Structure 1
Amino acid sequence: MTHSRITVSVNTAARPERVFSVLTDWPRHDEWMVLTRARVTAGDGRGVGSRLAAFTGLGPVGFLDTMEITGWDPPRSVTVRHTGRLVRGTGVFRVLPREDGGSTIVWEEELDLPFGPVGRLGWPLVRPVNAALFRLSLRRLAGLSVSR
């Protein structure tokens, strides 16, 4: 299995506590995460062991990304283990305080590439698109965190 890492970050004027609150409001993910609707499927979504499901796609066309929260450190970080058929690996959101009172939001994914050799060959084309969508999502999260 080949692993690949994506890391993107954005700055926001919002305090870390506010960012973390918006970030972990799972049913509201569609307000900031591009093409994604999330829900809690087990637990309360506020700690290790809770399970989440996020549908990513347009209309009915897409895939289900199932996850388990494996790290919970409010307001600093939340870590998930992707357990779905297509998306597997680890995702981490970090909310780092800045001296000006704002935050830097970091999104890291270490993914097991699907589709064997085809996935490895296609990854150089898909990776920049994923990174751009992740960055756009974080910009939307940052904006929502300031206005909330």
Structure 2
Amino acid sequence: MTEFRIVEAVALSPEETWRRLTDWPRHGDAVPFTTVTGDTRTVVARTGLGRLGFADVMDVARWEPPQDGGPGRCRLVKRGPVVTGWAEIELRPHRGGTAVRWCEDLRIGVLPALFDRPTAWCGRVVFRRALRRLLRG
């Protein structure tokens, strides 16, 4: 598996941060060549060009929206067949705003373990950019 973490602070309430980060279709606007659909049970991210691509199907294993300025957590379990692993978004109040911790542990089934480090590096770059874009509004 390939694990990476991204931590960002934002001057938004935990509730607004949650709203922006769990608006699944907006993730498609932030990740190149990807469309995303989903709800509080299942999320599907389809990445590709034309007929060439794959679906990252995720079950929502934990859905704990922040309440009254408190923390929140969402955990997605990637069920394959191409991408497996998990992703977790955790929000905590921080200095009048919110600290966001985005962690992923993933494996792209067609790639051998030799590609774990490059996959983690690419994931960190792509998802940091996506996270910042989602938080901008």
TM-score (norm 1): 0.79
Deviation at 1:58, TM superposition (A): 4.2
1:63 aligned residue: 54
Deviations 1:58-78 (A, max 9, x none): 454431100110001102111
2:115 aligned residue: 122
> How big is the alpha-carbon RMSD for the aligned residues of Structure 1 and Structure 2?
1.8
Local SS of the residue matching 1:14: coil
Distance in 2, Cα, partners of 1:22 & 1:33: 14
Local SS of the residue matching 2:112: helix
Local SS of the residue matching 1:20: helix
Q: Is 1:108 matched with 2:103?
A: yes
Amino acid at match of 1:119: P
Higher strand share: 2
The percentage of counterpart residues that share the same residue type is 30
Q: Is 1:16 matched with 2:14?
A: yes
Which runs of no fewer than 5 residues in structure 1 stay unpaired?
A: none
Q: How does 1:1-148 map to 2 (within 5 A)?
A: 3-40=1-38, 45-46=39-40, 50-75=41-66, 76-99=72-95, 101-112=96-107, 114-115=109-110, 119-144=112-137
Deviations 1:50-92 (A, max 9, x none): 1121112345443110011000110211101101211111110
Deviation at 1:114, TM superposition (A): 2.3
Whether the 8 Å contact between 1:35 and 1:56 is mirrored in structure 2 is yes
Distance 1:38 1:7, change over 3 A: same
Distance in 1, Cα, partners of 2:114 & 2:86: 21
TM-score (norm 2): 0.85
Deviations 1:84-110 (A, max 9, x none): 2111111101112112x2112211112
Amino acid at match of 2:8: V
